[in-house]
Structure 1
């Protein structure tokens, strides 16, 4: 029963991302042989028990990034042994390194990180995904609002 509970939380998070508007909507990009799914949202959208489970903080000025990498040569299966690194840049071009936490639940693998923001601040994300000699960069920007 304990293994099912985190999967329910993830399902709840996916539903939350689906119905909470464009600021939290999941996005995806094709990068080489990978389909990268990502969403960045205000950490106050995390349920307290979910935040505790994954050692995440909840704050009005803290963004959470959730990223999953799927191997398009094996539909529906996550890419194995992927290394995710990156940084975020604010409008003043100040950089902050991101430290990703790998989460494995059954066949699912996803990566979580958090970063600070100011109210109505647009952050630019630069994420590098590597597997063996293959490397691709995901770049996107998003505006965050303090709740």
Structure 2
């Protein structure tokens, strides 16, 4: 089931973001990958298995951390993190992250509610499992409800 969630998130992210516009940011040897995915893209059984409530006004923030090693390879890293999200009116929500581990991948997902066409701001504080340094990452993204056919 975990593999299905990881695969689905990767597939949805690949469809939503062109390869040339991969959403990631480097922090020294670490690269934080991030994506916001509407919960309606998740299979109902997969969402239920992870306690994710699906809805037109619900999304998940998906994070994954990779460490680039001196030999040119990279490896997934677990991390400690906390974060929040807020709207233009400064209504803030603390994000509650759930770790999804499907070796060699490690993902962190946090659900949140939104209004259609709303700009959401995110602030994430994270520390890789083998690091003493906490990094801060901020971004904003406009979110949309899924179009009905």
TM range (shorter): 0.7 to 0.9
**Contact 1:32/1:136 (<8 A) preserved:** no
User: What is the number of equivalent residue pairs in this alignment?
Assistant: 140
State the match for 1:79 in structure 2.
77
Aligned: 1:47 with 2:47: no
CA distance in 2, matches of 1:101, 1:13: 14
Normalising by structure 2, we get a TM-score of 0.84
Gaps of 5+ in 2: none
**Cα RMSD after superposing both structures:** 2.0
Normalising by structure 1, we get a TM-score of 0.85
**1:9 shift after superposition:** 4.1
State the match for 2:138 in structure 1.
139
CA distance in 1, matches of 2:105, 2:55: 27
Give 1:37's match in structure 2, choosing from 6, 11, 33: 33
What's the CA shift string for 1:79-110, capped at 9, x where partnerless?
24x10110001010111100100111122211
CA distance in 1, matches of 2:74, 2:45: 28
**Contact 1:36/1:67 (<8 A) preserved:** yes
**Contact 2:2/2:100 (<8 A) preserved:** no
